[in-house]
Chain A
């Protein structure tokens, strides 16, 4: 999930002055310093560690770092402004993100470039985020050719800035919408202590990015588990598909000390069915009238035969991590253990599920209850 956005009044771009009150302390900040995910640090050999199961992994996730942190305050995010603790101490998606010198990270990227599939810089809502993202992008592009995405902070951007990202070598843009309805967005991202993020601005930036970067080069993060219905999710999948924008699925995973720390994860059966539904919409082209909901918006049937659904699910692909692709279209950003603990069942698989995984997936899906020819 992403924590990047904001509100605007007369302009979509928040100035440095409007965000930074007082002089910032001299800390290890972007662009000279950057955080990277624990998995990225491991694959770049900047941190010791290993995964429970061995698989090829080459998706590198960077996160801007500022002493004053992110100026948004989303209820579910580990970087939220009012979550207890200093920005230095905060975790993001439940694990620590080591803080390292940007040039050292880029050096390691160049060294291991043949293993890398996708790079991504996550902005945060901060007055310097745009210029520092440009700086880091340029440092990377001087040494590394691996495709590069930016998970943007809409309040810091406008059309010209998006255009500039493209000109300096960014090929995909992600927007961390997360909340899939305006009501939920306001609840979790706008009407929060230091929130004020703006639903309309998120969409404005999404559509601007679509115009600039082209079809299937923009993605919206959609978070399952904030209180939305299945119908809300399926509606947004169709809305995005019509505009040739990917929906990337994320599973809510309670962040300790956040305002949603005690909010439950979505039920695994619901999660699996949403994964399957999205795949059917995006990749199989199933029409909207095949999805049947009850009055509360729960998905109760897919008007397809069980054998047909089984055939699609058996590929395992619907249950793999949604993320920007590598150069050849292969999964590029796979975020292992991003929304579940290693001791919990995989929510999304950073590799093609094996026969044992599929057996578990089918038990979770309960297709016999869902299918209706």
Chain B
């Protein structure tokens, strides 16, 4: 786990630089969620919706949407696959994504269909993750999206 600007990031997952989703792969199944800096910058989650279990989603396509107190936006899939499970607890209590983004606040599980090709677009490894996040934290700070420490 590394910490940057008061935000925490596990290093045993992949990150999608376009969406700030994390992807934890076990076999052909990936559990997906949003990282700490992105959840913070969106504010308190109010409503989360996902596509139906069984639906196919390609990387970059919408797998659902999230509405926060002052922000609404699509959730774009970081990898291609079939949604095999959604986090019902999160649907009931969207704040879990703010409170525990890597644990109880996970979004969906997907059966991967093109991961070997797509993982090149994701960031992994502690050094790469740290370098990417330092640049991202600076960007978020300049845009005024994260609180001053």
Q: Could you tell me which A residues sit within 8 Å of B by CB distance?
A: 38-39, 41-43, 45-52, 95-96, 108, 336-337, 341-343
Q: Given contacts A43-B144, A50-B145, are A341 and B67 in contact (CB under 8 A)?
A: yes
Query: Which residues of chain A are near B67, meaning CB under 8 Å?
Result: 341-343
Q: Mark B61-74, 1 if CB is under 8 A from A, else 0.
A: 00001011111110
Q: Given contacts A42-B144, A43-B144, A45-B147, are A50 and B70 in contact (CB under 8 A)?
A: yes
Bound Cα distance A46, B147 (Å): 5
A-B contact pairs, 8 of them (CB 8 A): A42-B144, A45-B144, A48-B40, A49-B68, A50-B71, A51-B70, A95-B69, A341-B46
Q: Name the distance in Å between A42's Cβ and chain B's nearest Cβ.
A: 7
**Residue from B72, B144, B148 having most chain A Cβ neighbours under 10 A:** B144
Query: Which residues of chain A are near B42, meaning CB under 8 Å?
Result: 49-50
Bound Cα distance A95, B44 (Å): 9
Query: Which residues of chain B are near A95, meaning CB under 8 Å?
Result: 44, 69-70
A48 in complex: contacting residue of B72, B73, B147, CB < 8 Å: B147
Bound Cα distance A274, B71 (Å): 27
Q: Mark B37-54, 1 if CB is under 8 A from A, else 0.
A: 000111110110000000
Query: Which residues of chain A are near B41, meaning CB under 8 Å?
Result: 48-50
Bound Cα distance A105, B67 (Å): 27
Q: Are A336 and B144 in contact (CB under 8 A)?
A: no
Apart from the given pairs A41-B147, A342-B71, A343-B67, 4 other A-B contacts in the complex at a CB distance below 8 Å? A38-B70, A43-B144, A48-B43, A341-B72
Bound Cα distance A42, B148 (Å): 10
Query: Which residues of chain A are near B148, meaning CB under 8 Å?
Result: 45-46, 108
Query: Which residues of chain B are near A38, meaning CB under 8 Å?
Result: 43-44, 69-70
> Which residue of chain A is the closest to B141 with respect to CB atoms?
A45
Q: Could you tell me which B residues sit within 8 Å of A by CB distance?
A: 40-44, 46-47, 65, 67-73, 143-148
Bound Cα distance A49, B38 (Å): 9
Q: Are B145 and A48 in contact (CB under 8 A)?
A: yes
Bound Cα distance A230, B148 (Å): 46
Q: Name the distance in Å between A61's Cβ and chain B's nearest Cβ.
A: 13
Q: Name the distance in Å between B124's Cβ and chain A's nearest Cβ.
A: 25
Q: Given contacts A48-B147, A49-B42, A50-B143, are A336 and B47 in contact (CB under 8 A)?
A: no
Q: Name the distance in Å between B23's Cβ and chain A's nearest Cβ.
A: 23
Bound Cα distance A47, B146 (Å): 7
> Which residue of chain A is the closest to B7 with respect to CB atoms?
A48
Bound Cα distance A95, B43 (Å): 11
Query: Which residues of chain A are near B68, meaning CB under 8 Å?
Result: 49, 342
Query: Which residues of chain A are near B71, meaning CB under 8 Å?
Result: 49-52, 342
Query: Which residues of chain B are near A337, meaning CB under 8 Å?
Result: 69-70
Query: Which residues of chain B are near A48, meaning CB under 8 Å?
Result: 40-41, 43, 145-147
Q: Are B70 and A49 in contact (CB under 8 A)?
A: yes
Q: Are B147 and A47 in contact (CB under 8 A)?
A: yes
Q: Name the distance in Å between A51's Cβ and chain B's nearest Cβ.
A: 5
Query: Which residues of chain B are near A45, meaning CB under 8 Å?
Result: 144, 146-148
> Which residue of chain B is the closest to A112 with respect to CB atoms?
B144
Query: Which residues of chain A are near B147, meaning CB under 8 Å?
Result: 41, 45-48
**Residue from A45, A48, A52, A95 having most chain B Cβ neighbours under 10 A:** A48
Query: Which residues of chain B are near A51, meaning CB under 8 Å?
Result: 70-71
Query: Which residues of chain A are near B40, meaning CB under 8 Å?
Result: 48-49
Query: Which residues of chain A are near B72, meaning CB under 8 Å?
Result: 52, 341-343
> Which residue of chain B is the closest to A39 with respect to CB atoms?
B70
Q: Are A49 and B47 in contact (CB under 8 A)?
A: no
Bound Cα distance A343, B146 (Å): 22
Q: Name the distance in Å between B105's Cβ and chain A's nearest Cβ.
A: 15
Q: Name the distance in Å between A115's Cβ and chain B's nearest Cβ.
A: 9
